Amino acid sequence: MPSLLFVIALTAATGVGGLALGGVLALLLKRHSPRWSAVLLSFTAGLMLCIVSLDMVPESLEAAGSFWLTPLFLLLGFGLTWLLNCWIDKSAHHPEDPEDSEDHNCACGEHDLHTAGIILAAAVALHNVPVGMAVGSMVAVQGVCWAAVLAAVTIGLHNIPEGMSIAVPLLHDGSKAAAAIAVSALSGVPTVLGAMAGLFIGSQAPIALACALALAGGAMLYVVFFELLPEAYSAWRSKWAFVVPVIGFAVGVLLIVLGGHH
């Protein structure tokens, strides 16, 4: 029982708390200026691209033990997200309006940023299940230990930019502050559930871990390239809109190194 309470409290603080903190930071940095909104969108796109490229994909490759599984599920995650967006776009328009139907027949991906934020929250939630299992499995093997605390803090450190990336498009699209922060925080709940499962199972399934990370990474790549960056450029048509993601990527590298991943 002490181990279970320890795992729940630890992953709730770093998983849910880290994402909520990211949402709060996004709110504090939000401005009404379209240019400032574009900077935030571009910056968070760079952060997410870094996390996918230098954290999620390498972890998936290591867990898979095979070079083909990760790129396959990365493409699958991207494709499923694209199909989901196509379905959302078609469902958002009335079929009885032929003109409207013709205008949006091939408008896959052309919807508001609110949907992008929800999709990203779902992708982050999927990512948080296996990382939560990692913490739970560590406690199951070693008991209440400092290594588990460091692993959970690393998750929390990564969750801050992820929470920002979820909240920024929601806030940019006009969502209320409390709702944006709540969506960010709720995407961290699977961290707790995954940690509890890992505690009871006592070990990870490497193939399942690799597939989950790659699927989530593919969904995040869709949001970065089809939602955040296009919206940022439409709000600020300048070459600087493409420089800011590089800065975000660099900050992401710094966070990964500070979090203990090299």
- Nearest-5° angle of CA 170, CA 126, CA 155? 85
Q: What is the pLDDT of residue 75?
A: 95
Pair of tokens at residue 169: 């498009």
Q: Where are the alpha helices (DSSP H) in the chain?
A: 2-11, 17-29, 34-51, 57-64, 69-91, 98-103, 113-142, 146-172, 177-186, 189-201, 206-223, 229-235, 244-258
Q: What distance lies between CA 235 and its chain's CA centroid?
A: 23
Q: What is the pLDDT of residue 247?
A: 93
Q: Does this model's pTM top 0.85?
A: no
Q: For 229-248, what is each residue's pLDDT tens digit?
A: 887 888 788 777 789 999 98
Q: What is the pLDDT of residue 88?
A: 55
Q: What is the pLDDT of residue 97?
A: 47
Instruction: Say if residue 138 is exposed, middle or buried (CB neighbours under 10 Å; 0-12, 13-18, 19+).
Output: buried
Q: For 78-112, what is each residue's pLDDT tens digit?
A: 998 888 777 756 654 544 444 444 444 444 555 56
Mean pLDDT of 190-216: 77
2 neighbors 145 (Cβ within 8 angstroms): no
Band of pLDDT at residue 47, cut at 50, 70 and 90: confident
Total tally of structural domains belonging to the chain? 1
232 neighbors 225 (Cβ within 8 angstroms): no
- Tell whether the model's pLDDT for residue 200 goes beyond 50: yes
Q: Of 71, 78, 66, which Cα lies nearest the Cα of 206?
A: 66
Question: How many other C-beta atoms lie within 10 A of the C-beta of residue 102?
Answer: 9
Q: What percent of the chain has pLDDT over 90?
A: 8
Range from 125-139, 153-167, 242-256 that averages highest in pLDDT = 242-256
Which domain does 35 fall in, by range?
2-258
- Nearest-5° angle of CA 83, CA 86, CA 90? 145
Q: What is the pLDDT of residue 71?
A: 94
185 neighbors 170 (Cβ within 8 angstroms): no
Question: How many other C-beta atoms lie within 10 A of the C-beta of residue 171?
Answer: 25
Pair of tokens at residue 257: 């190194």
d(C-alpha 219, C-alpha 105), whole Å: 23
